[in-house]
Structure 1
Amino acid sequence: MGLIQGFLSLMFGSGRNVIRETAEVFTENAEAGAKRAASVQGQAMQQFGAEFEVPRAGLFDRFMDGLNRLPRPALALGTLGLFVTAMIDPLWFAARMQGIALVPEPLWWLLGVVVSFYFGARHQMKAQHFQREVATTMSRVPQVMENIGKLEQMRADSPGAADPGPDATLSVAVLNPEANPALDAWKARRLA
């Protein structure tokens, strides 16, 4: 009793749990991990909320906030407006399009770059990453099919899995099992 009590006090005495502390070296304590995750989430929300605590009373701040929200709706509504004006006053629309035809090509490239960076950079990056992943996966298909074929040939119930081939010595060895002293002793004890 004294030995067991001494061992238990060594393991769990003085408010410590040596087993738990040792296990936490190899695996995360779920409760402590959840507390850390909640703390991180709370700090992130406080940081995001702090951005909006500053009153935007100044005219410049309100103007910049409005300006930052303007390009997407302006481009969308402007494009729809072009379709409407083409239907309402085709001559006015054609005159404006003739002016656009005079814009030099490098300026179109610059406009394309600006619009692409503003709207499409993240979308393009994600699309290219997805296409690379699909291409990588598809390039592995022949190897995977070959591996599946090899695995199917290794199945015990596949025809010819235990075929010794043209080796006559191996064929005879397969038909005549080796002596197994441990198995013979087990059978003798079982029969006795």
Structure 2
Amino acid sequence: MGWLRTIFGAVFGGGRNVIAETAEVFRPNAEAADQRAADAQGAALRQMAAEFGSVQGPWGRFVDGLNRLPRPAMAFGCIFLFGSAMHDPVWFAERMQGLALVPEPLWALMGAIVAFYFGARELHKFRGSSMQKEAARIIAQAPDVARNVATLRALRHDTPGAADPGSDADAALAATREAENPAIEDWRRE
């Protein structure tokens, strides 16, 4: 019986369990792993409570309010653009003609800023020659845009001569012909 006591003493003696210690090399101790995860989560919660749990002053509340503005501002801005396109198409078309002059790399930069703001991790490579090509395209397009804006402004209701029928004689006669209007007839009688 002495030899069994010697073997068991070597394996389990001295407060150690050689089999369990050997097994933990290949598979982590589940109880210890859970304890480490709980400690890490508790530390993260304590850090967040220290950062966000304190009462903020007026400046902190102001900055938090500013941080919450971009998303609703972008959403309401898009809704405003749809409404303005229906309300005043000429005004809207003038603004869109101006946007035609924005270079492609600037659109890419704006898209990246918005994408990063909303959490996307998208980067666009910028090639040195693309800016020169884009600048040449914009310079070539600028006279067309200026002509389009002038044409659009001529269509405004408050522009002198906007209702000019030009060389269309039928339209000129129809515009000068007096039509029957009961309200005007009543007013003339009074």
Instruction: Give the shorter-chain TM-score range.
Output: 0.5 to 0.7
Q: CA RMSD in A?
A: 2.6
1:15-47: CA deviation from partner (whole Å, max 9, x where unpaired): 211111122223211111111111112212222
With over 3 angstroms needed to count, the CA separation of the structure-2 counterparts of 1:53 and 1:124, relative to structure 1, is closer
Q: State TM-score, norm by structure 1.
A: 0.53
Aligned to 1:86, what secondary structure does the other structure show?
helix
Residue 105 (structure 1) aligned to one of 102, 106, 126: 102
Q: Which runs of 4+ in 1 moved over 6 A?
A: none
User: Displacement of 1:113 after TM fit?
Assistant: 1.3
1:60-85: CA deviation from partner (whole Å, max 9, x where unpaired): 22221111111111111111122123
Deviates more, 1:117-126 or 1:24-33: 117-126
Give the letter aligned to residue 94 of structure 1: V
1:92-122: CA deviation from partner (whole Å, max 9, x where unpaired): x42244145235323x743541342232585
CA distance in 1, matches of 2:61, 2:70: 16
1:169 match: none
Q: Which has the higher helix share?
A: 1
Give the letter aligned to residue 42 of structure 2: G
1:55 match: 55
Which ranges in structure 1 are unaligned for 5 or more consecutive residues?
127-192
1:121-151: CA deviation from partner (whole Å, max 9, x where unpaired): 853649xxxxxxxxxxxxxxxxxxxxxxxxx
CA distance in 1, matches of 2:97, 2:122: 31
CA distance in 2, matches of 1:10, 1:72: 67
Paired residues, what number? 121
Which ranges in structure 2 are unaligned for 5 or more consecutive residues?
124-190
CA distance in 2, matches of 1:47, 1:97: 51
Counterpart mapping for 1:130-169 below 5 A: none
Say yes or no: does 1:94 pair with 2:90.
yes
Deviates more, 1:114-123 or 1:43-52: 114-123
2:153 match: none
CA distance in 1, matches of 2:112, 2:45: 31
User: Displacement of 1:10 after TM fit?
Assistant: 1.8
